[in-house]
Amino acid sequence: MPGSEASSSTRSLNESQLSSRFKNRPSASVRTEPSWGTRGSAGALSPVRDRSLGAGQDASSDTITLVRMRLASGLMPLELSLRRLNRTLTLVGVRSVAAEHALSAASRGALTHDEVTGLPDRHHILEQLQHRLSLPQVQPLALVAVWIDELDALEEEQGDRVTQRIMRQVGERIQARLRGPDLLGRLDDSGFLVLLTTDSEIDQLKEIADRLRAEVSFPVDCSGTLVSFTSSVMVGSLSNKRPSLERVLNRLETVTAKAATGGGNRTELFSL
């Protein structure tokens, strides 16, 4: 490990004490990073085949093992560098890994969010839907799908910068209407899906969908030009017997095709 040898003031803890102290912290958790190694003659770290000191291992061994652990807290993510001699762990260094932590979080976000709207992408929103379908029916669930009518034709006429601007604005308008447990994601090029936590009756859901359609269909300012468009909203509540994800997607496809066939700019109800 880089740096000087631990001073006499460095605190030594046995493994059970260290584990207990981290376990009892309510705001932090410890995970061990795959960066174990031994110090060779040149001062570099080399891999250790046996990464743990098992019960059958000789406790009198003089092998020195480097252990790095990440402490993930709400204040600052830290990396603790520990040296293990026999069964004693000695803390020899602490450094902040906030920059790495932020980069990792950004990378995870890029993999699960749509780059145009910044919303959860199709994979992520359907993963969340699958999760909610698998839960016991503690909270009622309704689905609201919002489609921009004839977005492909609008893109051919106005260009993709305009349609991307429309999708961002529509996403923001929908998001502004949602409450804490509700979740919005981009389902495809021209559509959004909302997982709505509500026990509203179907008539109330239709009123909600009608208001939402009027709000999201307001013209969008694109470089000083107001671009008009329409949208269709499909809304349905889940029955007491939760359907499969495949059935949900099939019903959405059917009702969306019905709205398009009818000329768009409409609200459609469906049941599952």
Please give the chain's pLDDT, 272 residues, in tens: 444 444 444 444 444 444 444 444 443 333 333 333 333 333 333 333 333 333 333 443 444 444 444 444 445 667 777 777 777 777 777 777 666 655 454 444 445 789 899 999 999 999 999 998 888 766 788 999 999 999 999 999 999 999 999 999 999 999 999 988 899 999 999 999 999 988 888 889 999 999 999 999 999 999 899 999 999 999 998 877 788 999 999 999 999 999 999 999 999 998 87
pLDDT of residue 98: 67
Task: Answer yes or no: do 251 and 140 share one domain.
Answer: yes
pLDDT of residue 111: 55
pLDDT of residue 75: 57
Domains in the chain, number: 2
Cα–Cα distance between 59 and 61 in angstroms, integer? 5
Task: Answer yes or no: do 135 and 16 share one domain.
Answer: no
Cα–Cα distance between 214 and 210 in angstroms, integer? 6
| Residue 151 tokens, joined | 């977005």
Task: Answer yes or no: do 120 and 220 share one domain.
Answer: yes
Block residue for tokens 């019960």 = 55
Q: How far is CA 136 from CA 126, 130, 141, 144, 181, in A?
A: 18, 12, 11, 21, 16
Cα–Cα distance between 139 and 196 in angstroms, integer? 10
Task: Answer yes or no: do 86 and 183 share one domain.
Answer: no
pLDDT of residue 137: 67
pLDDT of residue 272: 76
> Do the domain assignments include residue 246?
yes
Sign of CA dihedral 235, 238, 244, 245: positive
Question: What is the residue type of 54?
Answer: G
Task: Answer yes or no: do 90 and 143 share one domain.
Answer: no
Q: Which of 81, 102, 123 is the last residue of a domain?
A: 102
Task: Answer yes or no: do 40 and 139 share one domain.
Answer: no
Cα–Cα distance between 79 and 69 in angstroms, integer? 6
pLDDT of residue 194: 96
CB distance 194 to 170 below 8 Å: no
Q: Which domain holds residue 58?
A: 12-102
CB distance 90 to 17 below 8 Å: no
DSSP 229-242: --EEEEEEE--SSP
Q: Which residues contact 155 (CB under 8 A, 6 or more apart)?
A: 162, 163
pLDDT of residue 227: 95
pLDDT of residue 252: 92
